Structure 1
C-alpha cells in the first residue's frame, strides 16, 4: 500500500515539477513569430498580437492572449477582419495522456468581425477557404500521413467546461446592395460542453440593418452526438423586436419543444406589430422534421392565424387562417405544397403548388373554391352625388365633361418580369363587377414578362363564355390581346348587374377580338382596336316604342293630337346583328340590323369611347299591315339616337323622313294644304299665305 502511495506522490511531484519547469523555462510570447508566420503562410494575411501571451493556472493550466487582430487586405473600409481584446483558454494536462482534450472555460471579450463586399463583388473572406492554397503551403509529408493522423484524431475526445462570448460586435457591409448590418452587444454563453451531455446555451444581441433596428434573445439546451456530426436541441425559446420607422414588430416569439434529426418537432410562433395603415397579430404552430441526410425539411399541420386591422384592408378588420402541409428540398431549392387551405373571412380557397428558388423564381399552382365574391374585397365606393348630373342641372357643361374623364394611371406590373408562373383556377360560384358567374375554369401562365390566360371558360346568365387573353409588359406601355366568345347569354340581367342598365334584353352571341396598348382606363378607351360581332335574338329595346313614334308622327302630319296609349316604351325584335369596329377612341358600325314581325331596322353610326357620346342613325321600315301604320308601310323612317350611354335620346328625323320618301312628302303636303284651308278658308288661296306655306314646307322637307 505504501508503495502505491509513494508512486502516486511521485507522479504528482513529477507533474508539479514539470509545470514549474514549463512556466520557468518556456515563455509563451516566443510563439508569436511562429503563429504570425504560419498564419501569413496559410492565408496571406497578417496576424498582429499586440498583447502578451501569458500562462494561467486557475482553474486549469492555460494561456491568456491579449489584444489581437487578423488583418484585411488593402482596399477595405476597416483594417481588421477579426479583432479581440482578450482571449483565455485553459487545458487539463493529465487527460491528454488518455487522448482526451479537456478545455476549461473559454472566454473571448470585445471581439469584432468586419465583413465587406465591394462593388466588384470581391469580399475580404475570399481566399480564406481556398483548399488549394492551403495544400500548397502544407508540409510535403502530410499526404502520406493523412490516414495515420485521421486514425489518431478519431480517438480523441473533446470537452469544454464553458464558452463565453462577451460584448462582441460585427459589421457586414455590401457595397453592391448598399446595405450595412451592424450587430452590437453580442453575448453568448454555453455551459459544460461535451458529447452526449445536455448543456444550456443563451444568447442576446442588438443590431441595425440600414434604418432597421432590432434586438433578440433566447435560450436552449443542446446535446452533441458522440461523432460530433449531429446535435439535439430541446426547450428552444427566442424572442425578437424590430423597427424601421415604418414597420414595427413589437414582439416575435419562436418556440421548439425538441429537435432531433429524423424526428418530428413541435414548433410554435407568434408575431404582432404594424405597418402603415395596417396592424397584425399572427400566431401559429406546426410539426417539422429534418431528414437524416440533412436535405429535406417536412412541414406538417401548419396553421397560421392572422388578425388584421387597418385602412389598408378592404374591410376594417379581417381574419385569415392558413393551413398547409409542405416539404422543402435544400439541394434543389424546391418547396412543394401538397395541401393549402385559406379561409379569409369565410372566403375559402384550397389547392397545392410548388416554388423553385432561382434567379427567376418558378411557381406552379392549382387552386379551387366553392364561392368567391370579388366585389366584397374591393374598396367600397363613396356615396357622393353624381357630379355629371349636378353639372347638367345648372348647365355647367365643363364640370360634366370632367366627370367623364377616365383615369390615366397605369398599373405597376413590373413584377411580371421577375417570375415564372403556371397554374389552374377553378371556382364554382364567382361574383365580379356585381355579375354572377358559375363554373369558372382558368389556365394561366406568366413568363418573361408576358402574362397569359391560355383558357377561360364559365357559365354566365344561362349561357357560356370562353376566351383567352395576354398582357406583355416588356414595353413602355403594356400591350394586350383579348379573344372571347359569348354564347346564348341572357343580356338583360347581365347589363343590369354590371352597368345598372335595363335598356336591352335578349339572348346574346358575341365574338370579340381586341388589342391595344396601355391598361389605364384612359389608354384603353383611346387605344383599343379590333372588332366585336354581336348577334342578339328574341330581344327587346326598352325606353323607346318605335311603332308609337311612327303613329304619333302620322298624327302630327294630319293635324291630329298624339295618340295617348298605355303601351310600355319598348320595341320587340327577333334578331339584332352588328359588327362594331374599334379604333382611335371610336366604336363604329355600318351594318346594324334589327328585324321584328312589324319592323325592319337598319342603321349606322358611332359612339365615342372617351366621352360616351352616341351618334347613331336608324332607319325604320314598317313591314306588316295593321296597327294604324298601313299608310306608311314600306316607307323608311329615320330615327336619330343621341345622348350618351346612360341616357340615350331618340328623335324622329322629319326632314330625312320626307326627303327620302316622295309618296309620304306628297301626302304630307296635301294634309298641310287641307289644314290651311280649314284655318283660313278662302283666304288660304291668297298669294302671301301660299308663299308663307311654301317656305314652311321647304324648311320641313329640305
Structure 2
C-alpha cells in the first residue's frame, strides 16, 4: 500500500474519531454531574460545594465547561455562610488527551472570585479542612479519577481576598484586578503577571515560574523568580522550591527588598511607624516551608547623615524567635533627624554610635556587649528580655562613664509642672500604675558622672526592681553639689490601692547649686543643706496618697544668699511681708531649721526657725495635706532694737497653692509693738539635735536658737526713726 494511501486513511480515521468524540460529548448532560462534583468536594474538604447558576458545556474541538455562581461553604463558626464565592468559571478541555486519561485544560478562567480567610478568637482558621471531613461521605472511586491533570493558561480577574483575625483585630483586603499565568508547552517556564491593590495600595507582580512538568515532578526543584512593585517598595525573590520528606515543600530562596520610606510601606499591613527613612533588606529563606530559617541577613534602616540602624546575621527559627544571632549597629549625626515626620520629639544630640549582639536565651532574647555613644553620654552593659512566664521581664546591668542630662533632654532640665486644678497643688489624676503589674524588671545602673547645667554629680548608683506590681527604686549619690544623698521609693500596686513608701537623706548638699542646675532658681547662692524625710501613704493618685500620709521631714540649711530679684518665690514674698522694713538688696541667710511630723495627712510643725542678718523668724502650726489648708504663725524678731515696734507676727492661711498672710489676731489685740517675743511658738530647743547633727555651721544655728529664746529688748528712747518709724505708725493706725 502506498504511503499516500496510508496517510489518507489515517486522516479519515482521525477525523472520524474527533467526530465520534464530539458526538459523545454532545450527548452528555453536564447537569447530571452536579452531584458528583458536590460529593467530591465534600469528601475532600468536608464543606458543601454548590453550583447555583448554569452548568453548561460549550461545544467545539476544545469544549469549554462553564459554571456560574459557585460557592464553597465556610466553617461552622465562620462570620458568613460562604468561604468562597465564584461568579463564573470556564475551563477549556482538550478532547484527545481524555483518551489517555489526561485532563488537559488549555485555559482556566476565574471571574469575580471572593475568598474569605479568617481566624476565630481561639486561633482556628477556616482554611483548615481536615477535621471537618466526614468518614460517612464515600470517596470518589479512584477508577473515575484521571491519572494526570494539566493546565496551560490560568486567568483570574476581579478577585477579592479578605483576611480577618479576631484575636489581633486585623482586617485586610487584597484585590487582584488581573492575573495571568501561561506557558507555550508543559515543559516551558510559566510567565506570571498580576496587578491589584492591597489595603488600597496598588501593586504589580511579574516573573517566571518553573514549568508545569517540573511542578508535577516532586523530585525536581521548582524555579521561582518574581518581582513585586508596591508604592515605595521593590522586592525580588529568586530560588527554588522542592519537595522534602513527607511531601513538605522545602525553600531555597534569596529575597531582597528596598523601601524609600519604611513608614509608608508598612501601612499596607496595618502598622504605624514614625518616619525613620529608607530601608533595605537582603536575606536567604531556606528549609521547610513550615519552619524556614533566615540566613545571611543584611538589613539597614535610615541614613547615616541622620540615624541608621544595621543588622547582620542569621535567625534559625523565626517562627518561634529561636536561634537568633544578629549583630546590630547604629550610627548617625543627630537624633534630631528622627523628628521629620512629627511623630517623635528627639533632642538635637549627636553623634550617635552603638553596637550590640542580639541572641536568644531561654524564654527570650539578650542584648550583649551593648556599647552606645550619644553625644557626650555613653552606655554599656547587657539587657535581657524574657516573654515566657506569667509576665514579660526585663533584666539589665548598665554602666556609664558620663551621662549629660542637659544634652539628652535638649536643655529642658526644668522640673515638669503637674497639671492641677486652679485651687489644688496635688493632682487627682490616676497614677500610671498598671504597667507595674504587666511586666517585671531588674535594673542596675552605675554612672561615674552625671552632668546637668554645670552640676557635676558623681558616683551615682541606681537599682530598680519590679516583681508582680511591687516596685523598689534605690538611688545612691556619692557626690551631689558638694554633698551626698540616698533614698528609696517603694510602690506596691499589687492590690486595689497602691501603698507608697519614700525615704530621702541628703547631707551637705549646696541647695543653691542644685536649684540652678534644674532651672528652679538662679537667685539662691550657697545654702548647704541637710535633709531627712520618711514618708508613707496609700492611694492611686498623689492627692489620695497625701491625704493619708504619715512620716516626718527635717531640714537644716546654713549660710546662703537670696537675691532680691527672686521676687516670684512665695518664701521671699512672705519674708518681705514679715519684715517690710528691710531695704537691702539681698537677704543674707544665716540658718534655716525646720521639722514637721506627719500623721494621717496632717503635717505639724515641731519647730521652725529662719535666721538672717537682719532678723530671726520663728514659727509653728500645721498643714492639712488632705485639703491643702495652711494654719501657720510666724513671728519676726529684728536684730535692730529700733525696729522692735514693727515686729508684727503673721498668720499664714489659705492653701498651698494660694497662701494668704494676715496679721496675727493676738497681736492686734495686744498692740503691735513688742508682741513678737510674746507669741508662744513652742520650745525651740527641740531643734537643737537637728542643728548639731545636720549642719557644718551648727554654731550659727545654735546662736540663732539661743537668740530667739531671749526676751525682746526694749527699743531705744525715741522709738523707731526714719522710714521704719513711718511704717510703724502706719501699721498702728491700720490695726
Q: Tell me if both proteins adopt one fold, taking TM over 0.5 as the criterion.
A: yes
Match of 1:217 in 2: 203
Match of 2:68 in 1: 66
Q: Aligned equivalents of 1:666 and 1:362: distance in 2?
A: 67
Shift of residue 285 of structure 1? 1.5
Indicate conservation of the 8 Å contact 2:299/2:310, yes or no.
yes
Indicate conservation of the 8 Å contact 1:486/1:511, yes or no.
yes
Q: Aligned equivalents of 1:67 and 1:236: distance in 2?
A: 32
**Gapped regions of structure 2 (runs ≥ 5):** 240-251, 337-347, 357-366, 368-382, 565-579, 642-646, 665-671, 681-706, 720-731
- SS for the counterpart of 1:20 is helix
Match of 2:632 in 1: 615
Select the residue among 302, 312, 317 that pairs with 2:300: 302
Match of 2:319 in 1: 331
Instruction: For residues 216-270 of structure 1, give each alpha carbon's deviation from its aligned partner in whole angstroms, at most 9, with x where no partner exists.
Output: 423242535865887644432113xxxxxxxxxxxxx322244554646243242
Q: Where does 1:184-203 land on structure 2 (aligned, <5 Å)? A: 186-192=176-182, 197=189, 199-203=191-195
Q: What's the Cα RMSD here?
A: 6.2
Match of 1:235 in 2: 227
Q: Aligned equivalents of 2:156 and 2:539: distance in 1?
A: 59
Q: Aligned equivalents of 1:57 and 1:357: distance in 2?
A: 63
> Does 1:494 pair with 2:505?
no
Q: Aligned equivalents of 1:436 and 1:585: distance in 2?
A: 36
Match of 1:287 in 2: 281
Q: Aligned equivalents of 2:674 and 2:455: distance in 1?
A: 41
**Closer/same/farther in 2, CA of residues 188 and 435 from structure 1, 3 Å limit:** farther
Indicate conservation of the 8 Å contact 2:174/2:196, yes or no.
no
Indicate conservation of the 8 Å contact 1:513/1:531, yes or no.
yes
Q: Aligned equivalents of 1:196 and 1:472: distance in 2?
A: 71
Match of 1:162 in 2: 153
Instruction: For residues 390-422 of structure 1, give each alpha carbon's deviation from its aligned partner in whole angstroms, at most 9, with x where no partner exists.
Output: xxxxxxxxxxx9466454333555455545556
Indicate conservation of the 8 Å contact 2:457/2:477, yes or no.
no
Q: Where does 1:463-542 land on structure 2 (aligned, <5 Å)? A: 463-473=483-493, 478-486=498-506, 488-498=508-518, 499-500=520-521, 502-503=523-524, 505-518=526-539, 522-523=543-544, 525-532=546-553, 534=555, 539-540=559-560, 542=562
Instruction: For residues 594-637 of structure 1, give each alpha carbon's deviation from its aligned partner in whole angstroms, at most 9, with x where no partner exists.
Output: 999xx99998655566759583769999xxxxx999xxxxxxx9
Instruction: For residues 582-604 of structure 1, give each alpha carbon's deviation from its aligned partner in whole angstroms, at most 9, with x where no partner exists.
Output: 455554453679999xx999986
> Does 1:590 pair with 2:606?
yes
Shift of residue 292 of structure 1? 1.6
Q: Aligned equivalents of 1:508 and 1:85: distance in 2?
A: 84
**Closer/same/farther in 2, CA of residues 60 and 284 from structure 1, 3 Å limit:** farther
Indicate conservation of the 8 Å contact 2:276/2:302, yes or no.
yes
- SS for the counterpart of 1:331 is coil
Shift of residue 169 of structure 1? 3.4
- SS for the counterpart of 1:38 is helix
> Does 1:256 pair with 2:257?
no
Shift of residue 189 of structure 1? 0.7
Instruction: For residues 671-698 of structure 1, give each alpha carbon's deviation from its aligned partner in whole angstroms, at most 9, with x where no partner exists.
Output: 88x879xxxxxxxxxxxxxxxxxxxxxx
Indicate conservation of the 8 Å contact 1:287/1:301, yes or no.
yes
Indicate conservation of the 8 Å contact 1:102/1:159, yes or no.
yes
Shift of residue 68 of structure 1? 1.6
Match of 1:84 in 2: 86
Q: Aligned equivalents of 2:504 and 2:582: distance in 1?
A: 45
- SS for the counterpart of 1:323 is strand
Q: Aligned equivalents of 2:496 and 2:660: distance in 1?
A: 37
**Closer/same/farther in 2, CA of residues 502 and 476 from structure 1, 3 Å limit:** farther
Instruction: For residues 323-349 of structure 1, give each alpha carbon's deviation from its aligned partner in whole angstroms, at most 9, with x where no partner exists.
Output: 142776433246887536485213357
Indicate conservation of the 8 Å contact 2:235/2:255, yes or no.
no
Shift of residue 493 of structure 1? 0.9
- SS for the counterpart of 1:283 is coil
Q: Aligned equivalents of 1:19 and 1:372: distance in 2?
A: 89
- Alignment TM-score, normalising by the size of structure 2: 0.59
Shift of residue 204 of structure 1? 0.9
**Closer/same/farther in 2, CA of residues 325 and 419 from structure 1, 3 Å limit:** farther
Q: Aligned equivalents of 1:189 and 1:165: distance in 2?
A: 5
Shift of residue 282 of structure 1? 4.9
**Closer/same/farther in 2, CA of residues 564 and 591 from structure 1, 3 Å limit:** closer
Instruction: For residues 81-132 of structure 1, give each alpha carbon's deviation from its aligned partner in whole angstroms, at most 9, with x where no partner exists.
Output: 32212112345577789999764332211223346778x869893872317x
Q: Where does 1:415-430 land on structure 2 (aligned, <5 Å)? A: 417-419=437-439
Match of 2:249 in 1: none
Shift of residue 167 of structure 1? 1.8
Q: Aligned equivalents of 2:208 and 2:285: distance in 1?
A: 19
Q: Aligned equivalents of 2:117 and 2:56: distance in 1?
A: 30
Indicate conservation of the 8 Å contact 2:597/2:604, yes or no.
yes
Indicate conservation of the 8 Å contact 1:69/1:84, yes or no.
yes
> Does 1:125 pair with 2:119?
no
Shift of residue 284 of structure 1? 1.6
Q: Aligned equivalents of 2:55 and 2:228: distance in 1?
A: 38
Q: Aligned equivalents of 1:23 and 1:112: distance in 2?
A: 31
**Closer/same/farther in 2, CA of residues 166 and 434 from structure 1, 3 Å limit:** farther
**Closer/same/farther in 2, CA of residues 565 and 24 from structure 1, 3 Å limit:** closer
**Closer/same/farther in 2, CA of residues 19 and 478 from structure 1, 3 Å limit:** farther
Indicate conservation of the 8 Å contact 1:218/1:237, yes or no.
yes
Select the residue among 570, 574, 594 that pairs with 2:588: 570
Q: Aligned equivalents of 1:203 and 1:85: distance in 2?
A: 20
Select the residue among 98, 104, 107 that pairs with 1:105: 107
Match of 2:691 in 1: none
Instruction: For residues 522-569 of structure 1, give each alpha carbon's deviation from its aligned partner in whole angstroms, at most 9, with x where no partner exists.
Output: 446545443445566x6437589xxxxxxxxxxxxxxxxx99998963
Q: Aligned equivalents of 2:115 and 2:584: distance in 1?
A: 93
Indicate conservation of the 8 Å contact 1:325/1:337, yes or no.
yes
Q: Aligned equivalents of 2:636 and 2:171: distance in 1?
A: 77
- SS for the counterpart of 2:107 is strand
